[in-house]
Amino acid sequence: MMKKMIIVVLACLLIFLLGCKGKNIDIPDPNDEKNSEHVENPDEIAEKIKSMTIEEKIGQLVMIGIEGEKADENIKEMIESRHAGGIILFSGNIKSADQTLELLNNLKDLNRGNIPLFLGLDEEGGRVTRLSKEFVKIPSMEEVGNKNDKDYSFRIGEALGTRVKSLGFNIDFAPVMDINSNYKNPVIGDRSFGDNPKIVIEQGAQVMSGIKSTGVISVVKHFPGHGDTKVDSHKKLPVVDKTFEEIDNFELLPFKKSIEEGVDGIMIAHILFPKIDGENPASFSYTIINDILREKLNYRGVIITDDMTMGAVMNNYDIGEASVKSLKAGSDIILVCHGYENEHKVLDTIKEAVESGDIKEEDIDKKLYRILKLKEKYVNDERINEVNIEDINRKTRDILSYDR
């Protein structure tokens, strides 16, 4: 009897295996960046890329800023004709929650039928907040770091993600993962979780995860580390005289943790590390972006530059040439926050580089794959009709009064 049962079981197993073979089931390679738990059928992305014009492809590689509180003819052109892939807003674009909601809905309408837009802002808490004062103030990350409570940090991330998503944003350029190790630092300061690497690593990862949990992309910054600078890169080009071994054991630690925790986006800083790359700032250094971030740290997500219109770039380099160098170095998205002439120049220079063969179209397609995969995970163009600020503020107050 036992022998008969074994034969039946083996026969059933053989039929199952043959059936699987007939269906040609493939097991994805988890190390292949084309495979992701978030993409049901990666081939759909590949087919989409094949159908795109070169202008549409290039547009997805650029995220732009706008002027004023309404969608004007310039932004209409950037979306409809130049195919800009994303838009970042600042305080000057934001007057109130209702106005912001209307602006984002209008931007989505202008882009209707195309690949949905990245819609982002810097909502860090503390002194770097872009939203209107209708929202309850969230403490600085230094205050969060001082509390040194992982659950609290996660909930702070939730609060940040909830408020930006309520208006229709899908990217928050936060948190800052810089270790504030230089007391003369004019730009990081209390934006950092502190000068203790362990606290920055642990609490930063929790805030990042909290933002992600709300369905908002968290882009951590400013790789490979802006904490040991004496110059504000908004004005000048900072120089950090450290070797790779030094930053590997200090500045890179919070970013390594972010990557381990599945961060979706990393922003590259405009900082020169002459002992690592004597010619190029991090934002367009092949050594830093490709060799260190991609290869040594094994990061496979989206890489975006800091704003290319900052003084560190504009006062030292041609913005178009710098943008091309950044893409060739391994970045995926060029951030151009100010000046429509700058945005057009970046797009035009990238197109010229593709047409001349300086940038290969297959390299653009690899960047697009990462970008579209991330958009599929988080981004849609659905209009949001109203926002309940009272409810959001109540939940935020509950978090701020939290005491374990």
Q: State the catalytic residues.
A: 234, 306
CB-based burial, 313-336: b 16+ in 10 Å, e otherwise: bbeebebbebbbbbbbbbbbbbbb
How many CA atoms lie less than 13 Å away from 50 in the CB half-sphere?
6
* Partners of 267 in beta bridges: 304
* CB neighbourhood size of 102 (10 A): 17
Q: Which residues pair with 268 in a beta bridge?
A: 223, 305
Q: How far apart are CA 174 and CA 158, in angstroms?
A: 12
**Cα(366)–Cα(370) distance, integer angstroms:** 7
Place of tokens 């197993």: 13
Contact 211, 174 (CB under 8 A): yes
Q: Pull the structure tokens for residue 155.
A: 């909930």
Alpha carbon distance 231, 236 (integer Å): 6
Using an 8 Å Cβ cutoff, are 100 and 119 in contact?
no
Closest C-alpha among 336, 334, 337 to residue 325: 334
SS3 call for 291: helix
CB of 155 within 8 A of CB of 210?
A: yes
Q: Do 90 and 65 form a contact (C-beta atoms < 8 A)?
A: yes
Do 329 and 280 form a contact (C-beta atoms < 8 A)? yes
- 312 phi and psi, to 5 degrees? -55, -35
Closest CA to 298 of 260, 338, 243: 260
**186 cis-preceded (ω within 30 degrees of 0):** no
Q: Classify 270 as helix, strand or coil.
A: coil
Strand, coil or helix: what is 358? coil
Helix (H, G, I), strand (E, B) or coil at 151: helix
Give dist(CA 232, CA 239) in Å, integer: 10
